[in-house]
Structure 1
Amino acid sequence: MKRPPKDNEDSARVISRRAMLMGGAQMVFAGALVLRMRNLQLGQAEEFRLLADENRINIRLLPPSRGLIVDRNGTLLAGNVQNYRIVLVREDAGEPRAALERLAQLIPLSPDEIDRAEREIMRHRPFVPVTIVDQLNWEEVARVAANAPAMPGITPEVGFNRHYPFGAEFAHSVGYVGPVSEADLAARETPEPLLMIPRFQIGKIGVEREYEETLRGTAGHRRVEVNAVGREMRELDRQEGDPGSTLQLTLDRQLQAFTLARLGEDSAAAVVLEVQTGNVLALASAPSFDPNLFVRGISVADYGALRDNDHRPMSNKTVQGAYPPGSTFKMVTALAAFEAGLATPDERVYCPGYIEAAGRRFHCWNRGGHGRVNLTSALSESCDVFFYDMAQRVGIDRINAMAERLGLGIRYDLPLSGISSGLNPSREWKRERRGAEWVVGDTINASIGQGYVLATPLQLAVMTARLATNRAILPRLIHAIDDIEQPIPDQPPLGLSAAALAQVQRGMWEVSNAQRGTAYGSRIVDANLRMAGKTGSSQVFSITAAERAAGVRRQDQLPWNRRDHALFVCYAPDTDPRYAVSVVVEHGGGGSSVAAPIARDIILAAQSGGLPPIEAYPQPQRNRIETMMRTISEQIGPAVAPPTGRSRA
């Protein structure tokens, strides 16, 4: 049926209105789009340009050159050597095994090395360079470089590795570096991005560890353009970092080398101090180890050999070893008695070979006794009974105070690992740690450096320096940083009685210069170089009743690890002291027969600035000494050359 004209007109009007509304809406939407596009292109153009650059440009850190470590004379102790290595980029090299087999035709690569390298390559993204081998020599690098056009994706590179030219001589003091471990990162609240660089190395022990931030330097950076998947396209600019600072130690390389060589195969430690400054000139712990083994990661076999050695080569015995000081402690007891006014230098005590106290008999080392002795002869002949008597007069409180005054029981602030404070026992210490009260027997044992008393070789050297100078000498290991000399710590007077100290010094002089002195066999005959010292032997285990019944009577009949420790402390020259030395030989037996000869040789080397002069020794000993010095001179030798053998990174 045909619609009326009026209905057609109404429909047309409705359609026109709807079309107009829809058109208007479209125009509004289009206008909004235009405005938004204008805002994006003009108003926010700079912001989006920066975002695009961030997707296109990466910042890569450049590790700085690690600071050098030198001795007091500028001799290099820790430096950086060029390290030639081969890297492979999988996306350029193609199938990894084929590329590695081609490389093996130029430089020796075992099947196991190829397998390990292939696994390492497949763990990384195709465009990441992976180190295949490092520590190549120049001939190997040149061979690979000459064939580089035929081996895409394989590139020789040069970097730097830490190197210790004197090997084992400074392993415990200078320390070593190694790759950053998970434990290293976990120990830091916010690890620096620099530590995330693959194969980046940080200090692990010794000065390398304690001065890590000073030696590390500041990272540089380079801006590189990368594509959408992150592969580097080109380098835009580069800014090198600031190298680490140079540390100058107080150690003397020649004296350190001599000291370590003189300790020989013994499990031992020796410290040499400059008594006026506290400068540590030698810090030797034997046996030692080669720190270069740790730089790229030590092998399981090498680490096992060090770990299982009963002489503990990885322990720095100079500051970590705490030993009963034995008779080297007797000067502490004597000064405690004299300072308290409870004894006089000329007073004599009768030694029948023992003393009765608290229902026990305490023996002198000389079972036959020393007869009547005063302070000087008691020190010279190391009479135990004299000091037993002094100890009962003064008590442990005064002995404890004097020991602290002379530097025992103190943890010194040196940049070394695992420094021990030793043990200067007191009534409070025993009550807190042992849950028992102090008794007279404890005091008697402490008076001769036994019982609970423990001291490190460094502490014994400090004690000796203080006895030589009557000043509170503090040890010092860092001489300068970037040629800026570090201040010498204050050394206030100890305030010890001059008369009492003079008597103690006289007793120490007679130890090695009087015929009845316990170290007379190790005397120095040159009057300008003579030393004053004190022997000591500290008991580790007693010979049991069963062993005595079986015929065991002497130390050398016991197993090595049950023998007494041998100790000796000394300073020289006796009239104007310049050097103090302490020597501890673990399970060495007698201080007079084992430790004193070593200490004499070391203090002569310190005074002469080289090998000890043969003329300073007693005539009958000179042939033997000359032969020994010739052997030591050959052992010291020059610095160790950097390694050229390959290793896998």
Structure 2
Amino acid sequence: MKRSEREQEYSRRVISRRGLFLGALQVGVAGTLFWRLRDMQLNQSEQFHLLAEENRINLRLLPPTRGLILDRNGILLAGNEQNYRVVIKRDDAGDIDLVLERLSRLIPLSDEDIERARRDMLRNRPFVPVTVAERLSWEEISRVASNAPALPGVTPEMGLSRYYPMYKDTAHVVGYVGPVSERDLEALEAPDPVLMIPRFQIGKSGVERMQEDRLRGRAGSQRVEVNAVGRVMRELDRVEGTPGGNVHLTLDARLQNYALERLHGQSAAAVVLDIESGDILALASGPSFDPNLFVRGISSRDFNGLLENDYRPLVNKTVQGMYPPGSTFKMVTALAALEAGVTDGQERIFCPGHMDVSGNRFHCWKRGGHGRVDLVSALSESCDVYMYEIAQRCGIEKINAMSTRLGLGIRYDLPITSVAGGLNPTREWKRNNRNSEWRIGDTVNASIGQGFVLTTPLQLAVMTARLASNKAILPRLVRDPAEQAIREAASLDLRPEWLRMIRRGMNETVNDRRGTAYSSRVVAEDQVMAGKTGTSQVFSITRAEREAGIRRQEDLPWNRRNHGLFVNYAPYDAPRVAVAVVVEHGGGGSSAAAPIGRDITLAALNDGFPPLSAYPAPQRNRIHSEQQEIQERLRKPDDMRISRA
């Protein structure tokens, strides 16, 4: 049907208006786009150029080389070794299970290793490399490299890993490193970005932990070009990090080696101090453990074996173990009484073998008694009744003050973990912690290092060094190789005549026939030592046990026997070293601890195995056999062993 002229005219007007509207709209859109493009190109070009660069270029951190830990003579205690490892990228590997199965034919991979690799791949982005195996041999890494075409996504790499060449010798002091954990990050207010690097390791215990900031160094950086999905295309530049600083310890690695071997088979601790400087020459806690196991990833079986061992190999007994000091505390009681003026040291007190105090009977270790003894003989023969008497005269507060003055009950600021402070009890302490008043019997017990008194082997060594020098010796573990002069310790201001009596008593303990450590004397005139034995009671033998025939410590289970202790310094006329030994549940100090203390002292003075000529002639055959056994146990390279030369 033909439309009229009027209708046609109306349609033309409608189409023209619509055309004009659409044209205007197109011009507006085009104008807006042009303006926006102009603004982006001219005004915002630098901003978008930077964004494009950030998408194209990634900045990655490079882990720094960890600093070394060395002994006083430059012997390596903690270093870094080449670590051949295999990493895998999930987005390149394709069939992960197939690749891991092929890889397990070339290198040893346990089910646990494979499961951990799968877990790490799911936890990270597909293009992030995940370590499958490390510490591979050259032959193993070569097999992986030669089979690369059949292992998509797998890359062999070489890096550095922590290594402890002294194995068990310095484990408790040096400590070990391990992967950064969430707990580690939570403990830091502003974590170093380098800690975010996958499988980055930090100090977990010992010097490794306490000197972490110094050992870690600063991370380097690497700029790499990546594609749209984040895969690395090429490296643009690299800035190497700053290696961590080296830490020099005061330890003598060879003496430490000997001390730990001398503790073999015992749950024990030994400390050796340089009396002049306070340098810790040995800090041996036995049994020990291999810290390399923790770096490589210790198995549950090995870890549980360490945890369940009755001898507690993971505990650093030298600074963490707290023990009643027993009779090694008697020098403290004697000096407190001398300073209080309640005795002159010449007074002779009768010991019938016991003393009755407030309705309780306190026995002397010698049931028949020592008869009349003065201060020197009370120390050398270790008379308990003498100490009971003078302690009641001077009181616990003066004993506490002297104990602190001699270095007991103090937590020393050393760069190792779990340093204990010990306990010097007072009336106020008992009131606050035990909710009861101090009794005279508590003072009697404290006078012979029992009751509430607790000390560490390190504190006992410090006490001995202070008695030998009359100076406030402080223990030191880290030394500066550039340090020229040693800061002289302050004087203790103890009267020389008092110290002469104390030292004479310690000398007769070892060198008088009636002394409790006479069998552990040194016959070399220039290396004569002075010391004091101690036995601290852990459990008393009950009446029921006595009736059952158990009357000796040897009849009790091991963990109920007394601790054996021994402290000494040498040489007597010109003291150089102070030594403290604690043997857990070893029985008597004279039988268990004193022989060990003598051997370690002679090793320190002779810079090697103790010479047989320093021992009494009747003991030399036995000592020779013991030294041969120690040498056979030493598994270090020849240059790390203590030689007789």
Question: Aligning the two structures, in what range does the TM-score lie when normalised by the shorter sequence?
Answer: over 0.9
Give the match's secondary structure for 1:320: coil
Structure 1 158/487 Cα, relative in aligned 2: closer, same or farther at 3 Å? Answer: farther
The answer on whether the counterparts of 2:179 and 2:202 sit within 8 Å (CA) in structure 1 is yes
Between 80-89 and 185-194, the greater mean CA deviation after superposition: 185-194
Residue 633 of structure 1 deviates from its aligned partner by 2.0
The answer on whether the counterparts of 2:408 and 2:460 sit within 8 Å (CA) in structure 1 is yes
Residue 33 of structure 1 deviates from its aligned partner by 4.2
1:78 is matched with 78
1:646 is matched with none
2:618 is matched with 620
Residue 15 of structure 1 deviates from its aligned partner by 11
2:365 is matched with 365
Give the match's secondary structure for 1:588: coil
The answer on whether the counterparts of 1:537 and 1:567 sit within 8 Å (CA) in structure 2 is yes
Match 2:511 to one of 510, 513, 516:
513
C-alpha distance in 1 between matches for 2:560 and 2:56: 69
Residue 21 of structure 1 deviates from its aligned partner by 9.4
1:47 is matched with 47
2:177 is matched with 177
Between 292-301 and 470-479, the greater mean CA deviation after superposition: 292-301
Residue 119 of structure 1 deviates from its aligned partner by 5.4
Q: State the Cα deviation string for residues 21-64 of structure 1 (Å, max 9, x = none).
A: 99778767655543332221011101110011111111111111
The answer on whether the counterparts of 1:93 and 1:154 sit within 8 Å (CA) in structure 2 is yes
The answer on whether the counterparts of 1:376 and 1:507 sit within 8 Å (CA) in structure 2 is yes
C-alpha distance in 1 between matches for 2:294 and 2:352: 56
1:443 is matched with 443
Confirm or deny that 1:194 pairs with 2:210: no
C-alpha distance in 1 between matches for 2:261 and 2:536: 24
Between 120-129 and 561-570, the greater mean CA deviation after superposition: 120-129
2:642 is matched with none
C-alpha distance in 2 between matches for 1:489 and 1:199: 42
Amino acid at match of 1:89: K
Give the match's secondary structure for 1:319: coil
Equivalent runs, 1:534-553 vs 2, <5 Å? 534-553=532-551
Equivalent runs, 1:94-113 vs 2, <5 Å? 94-109=94-109
Structure 1 220/113 Cα, relative in aligned 2: closer, same or farther at 3 Å? Answer: closer
Between 447-456 and 184-193, the greater mean CA deviation after superposition: 184-193
Give the match's secondary structure for 2:106: coil
C-alpha distance in 1 between matches for 2:28 and 2:381: 112
Identity within the alignment, %: 63
Match 1:585 to one of 583, 596, 600:
583
Structure 1 509/182 Cα, relative in aligned 2: closer, same or farther at 3 Å? Answer: same
1:430 is matched with 430
1:284 is matched with 284
Between 227-236 and 485-494, the greater mean CA deviation after superposition: 485-494
Between 193-202 and 411-420, the greater mean CA deviation after superposition: 193-202
1:67 is matched with 67
C-alpha distance in 2 between matches for 1:418 and 1:83: 31
C-alpha distance in 2 between matches for 1:599 and 1:452: 26
Q: State the Cα deviation string for residues 193-248 of structure 1 (Å, max 9, x = none).
A: 21121111111110001011111110111111112222222111111111111000
Q: State the Cα deviation string for residues 169-202 of structure 1 (Å, max 9, x = none).
A: 1110000011112221222233222112111111
Scaled by the length of structure 1, what TM-score is found? 0.93
The answer on whether the counterparts of 1:176 and 1:204 sit within 8 Å (CA) in structure 2 is yes
C-alpha distance in 2 between matches for 1:348 and 1:110: 73
The answer on whether the counterparts of 1:169 and 1:257 sit within 8 Å (CA) in structure 2 is yes
Confirm or deny that 1:301 pairs with 2:282: no
The answer on whether the counterparts of 1:166 and 1:639 sit within 8 Å (CA) in structure 2 is no
1:472 is matched with 472
The answer on whether the counterparts of 1:167 and 1:640 sit within 8 Å (CA) in structure 2 is no
Q: State the Cα deviation string for residues 52-89 of structure 1 (Å, max 9, x = none).
A: 11111111111111110000000000001111111223
Confirm or deny that 1:568 pairs with 2:566: yes
Between 598-607 and 115-124, the greater mean CA deviation after superposition: 115-124
- More RCO (CA 8 Å, sep 6+): 1
C-alpha distance in 2 between matches for 1:98 and 1:340: 82
The answer on whether the counterparts of 1:270 and 1:282 sit within 8 Å (CA) in structure 2 is yes
Q: State the Cα deviation string for residues 461-513 of structure 1 (Å, max 9, x = none).
A: 00000000000000000012xx4449856510000011011110000000001
Give the match's secondary structure for 2:172: coil
1:274 is matched with 274
Amino acid at match of 1:354: H
Residue 150 of structure 1 deviates from its aligned partner by 4.4
C-alpha distance in 2 between matches for 1:366 and 1:40: 99
C-alpha distance in 1 between matches for 2:589 and 2:463: 17
Q: State the Cα deviation string for residues 384-403 of structure 1 (Å, max 9, x = none).
A: 11111110110001000000
Q: State the Cα deviation string for residues 140-189 of structure 1 (Å, max 9, x = none).
A: 11222223244332221111111111111111000001111222122223
Structure 1 122/184 Cα, relative in aligned 2: closer, same or farther at 3 Å? Answer: closer
1:502 is matched with 500
The answer on whether the counterparts of 2:277 and 2:488 sit within 8 Å (CA) in structure 1 is no
2:600 is matched with 602
The answer on whether the counterparts of 2:178 and 2:203 sit within 8 Å (CA) in structure 1 is yes
C-alpha distance in 1 between matches for 2:364 and 2:111: 68
C-alpha distance in 1 between matches for 2:112 and 2:171: 32
Amino acid at match of 1:542: S
Q: State the Cα deviation string for residues 427-483 of structure 1 (Å, max 9, x = none).
A: 110111011111111111101101100000000000000000000000000012xx4
Scaled by the length of structure 2, what TM-score is found? 0.94
Amino acid at match of 1:611: F
2:58 is matched with 58
The answer on whether the counterparts of 2:287 and 2:312 sit within 8 Å (CA) in structure 1 is yes
| Structure 2, unaligned runs of 5 or more | 640-645
Give the match's secondary structure for 1:167: coil
The answer on whether the counterparts of 2:561 and 2:587 sit within 8 Å (CA) in structure 1 is yes
Residue 367 of structure 1 deviates from its aligned partner by 1.1
Q: State the Cα deviation string for residues 490-548 of structure 1 (Å, max 9, x = none).
A: 51000001101111000000000111110000000011001000000001111111111
C-alpha distance in 2 between matches for 1:416 and 1:284: 13
Amino acid at match of 2:260: L
The answer on whether the counterparts of 1:328 and 1:535 sit within 8 Å (CA) in structure 2 is yes
Match 1:555 to one of 553, 556, 566:
553
2:36 is matched with 36
Equivalent runs, 1:345-364 vs 2, <5 Å? 345-364=345-364
The answer on whether the counterparts of 2:579 and 2:597 sit within 8 Å (CA) in structure 1 is yes
Structure 1 154/486 Cα, relative in aligned 2: closer, same or farther at 3 Å? Answer: farther
Amino acid at match of 1:568: F
Give the match's secondary structure for 2:476: coil
Q: Once superposed, what is the RMSD of the aligned Cα atoms? A: 2.4
Residue-pair matches, total: 634
C-alpha distance in 2 between matches for 1:266 and 1:352: 35
C-alpha distance in 1 between matches for 2:635 and 2:310: 27
Amino acid at match of 2:382: S
The answer on whether the counterparts of 2:113 and 2:133 sit within 8 Å (CA) in structure 1 is no
C-alpha distance in 2 between matches for 1:282 and 1:84: 34
C-alpha distance in 2 between matches for 1:406 and 1:264: 30
Give the match's secondary structure for 1:528: helix
The answer on whether the counterparts of 2:271 and 2:581 sit within 8 Å (CA) in structure 1 is yes
The answer on whether the counterparts of 2:325 and 2:454 sit within 8 Å (CA) in structure 1 is yes
1:647 is matched with none
Give the match's secondary structure for 1:238: strand
Give the match's secondary structure for 2:525: coil
Structure 1 103/28 Cα, relative in aligned 2: closer, same or farther at 3 Å? Answer: closer
Give the match's secondary structure for 1:168: coil
1:645 is matched with none
